[in-house]
């Protein structure tokens, strides 16, 4: 059980959180989220370009219009942490948050919206509490207010808990591990078929 792993799609996790928190953005999720899923540095790069005012005859305003980009960033953050092993990641969370400058220079995508293999043990209730704190801190670092950051962190953890429960139900029903993994991967692959390295995208602003 301890060696078991679940493949979680970044896009699927983010979509689930958006469905909970901003249902009005569900229909446009793909259009808004795709650049952030494709290129984890997109948010930071675009914001830096906009910081100079943008091209001529553009609005030149860097507005925080939708929740989806923030969700994509924090879910990528959470998945990256879980995939690496939450303990190691969360132990360094303070350094990671203050080290956003280093993140800017990190060019290679880490998930690109693809499925990430997460050890089932990392989805245990005790671990998810630490993930909640980490996600909330990340959201606040992105400029989200404390109340909204708490709601966002709850939603992310809620989605992860659902995934864990689904996994446990399958265990109890005696489904073979191979079949279970295959099903999970297939489900995840619907949104992001190409597995890739893990990612923590740049903040959107």
Partner 1 sequence: MTRHDTNGQIDVRAFPSDLTLLFLLLAASVLAGDFFFARWLAELQAPVDCSRASYAPSGPVLSCPKDAGAVFTGTLTGLFQVLVPGVAGFAFASRLRIRRHVPLETSPFRGAAETVRALVAAAALPASPTLLVGQRLRAGAHVAGPPGRPHLVLGPELLAMHDKGGSARRVFDVVVRHELAHLQARDLWLHFLVTVLRWSNMYAGAFVLFAVILDLGHGNGATASDLLAAVSRVVLLTLLGELIARAFLRLREHEADLRGGAADREALIAAVRDGVAGQSTARLGAWLRHHPLGADRLGVALAPGRILASSPGRLFLGATVAGVLFETLQDMLRRAADDAGKPATTLVTGVVVGLPLTLFLAFALWRHHWYGGRTGPGRLVATAGVLTAGVAGGSHLALFTQVSGFSESGYPLDPLLLAGLFCGLLLLCAWTTALGALHHRTDPAATRMPAFLTLAVPAVSVVGGWLFALLWTWAARLQGVRLGCAAEENRTVPLCLSGSPGRDIAVSVVETFDSVPVLVVVILAAVAAPLLIRAGGRARRGRPVAPDARDTVE
| Positions in the binding site for partner 1 (CB under 8 A) | 24-25, 27-28, 31-32, 34-35, 42, 46-47, 50-66, 68-69, 204-205
CA distances from 19 to 16, 41, 71, 105, 201 (A): 5, 24, 11, 32, 20
- What DSSP assignment string belongs to 112-150? TT-EEEEEGGGGSHHHHHHHHHHHHHHHHHTT--HHHHH
Nearer to partner 1, 10 or 205 (CB): 205
8 token code pair: 């979680």
Least spacing, CB of residue 143 vs partner 1, in Å: 9
Nearer to partner 1, 140 or 175 (CB): 140
Nearest to 115 by CA among 76, 153, 87: 76
Beta bridge partners of 131: none
Least spacing, CB of residue 193 vs partner 1, in Å: 20
Nearer to partner 1, 5 or 97 (CB): 97
Beta bridge partners of 116: 8
Least spacing, CB of residue 65 vs partner 1, in Å: 4
Nearer to partner 1, 70 or 84 (CB): 70
Nearer to partner 1, 1 or 27 (CB): 27
Least spacing, CB of residue 66 vs partner 1, in Å: 4
Least spacing, CB of residue 191 vs partner 1, in Å: 17
- What whole-number distance in Å separates Cα of residue 127 and Cα of residue 123? 6
CB-neighbour burial class of residue 121 (10 A; exposed 0-12, middle 13-18, buried 19+): middle
């Amino acid at each position: 059980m301890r060696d078991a792993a679940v493949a979680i799609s970044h896009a699927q996790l983010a979509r689930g959180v958006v469905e909970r928190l901003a249902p009005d953005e569900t229909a446009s999720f793909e259009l808004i989220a795709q650049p952030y899923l494709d290129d984890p540095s997109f948010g930071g790069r675009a914001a830096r370009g906009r910081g100079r005012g943008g091209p001529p005859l553009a609005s030149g305003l860097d507005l925080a219009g939708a929740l989806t980009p923030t969700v994509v960033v924090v879910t990528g953050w959470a998945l990256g942490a879980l995939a690496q092993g939450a303990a190691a990641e969360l132990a360094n969370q303070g350094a990671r948050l203050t080290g956003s400058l280093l993140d800017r220079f990190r060019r290679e995508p880490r998930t690109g919206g693809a499925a990430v293999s997460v050890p089932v043990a990392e989805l245990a209730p005790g671990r998810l509490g630490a993930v909640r704190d980490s996600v909330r801190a990340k959201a606040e670092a992105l400029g989200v207010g404390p109340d909204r950051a708490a709601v966002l962190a709850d939603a992310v953890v809620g989605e992860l808990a659902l995934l864990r429960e689904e996994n446990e139900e399958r265990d109890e029903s005696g489904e073979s591990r191979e079949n279970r993994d295959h099903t999970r991967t297939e489900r995840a692959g619907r949104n992001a078929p190409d597995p890739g390295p893990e990612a923590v995208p740049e903040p959107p602003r």
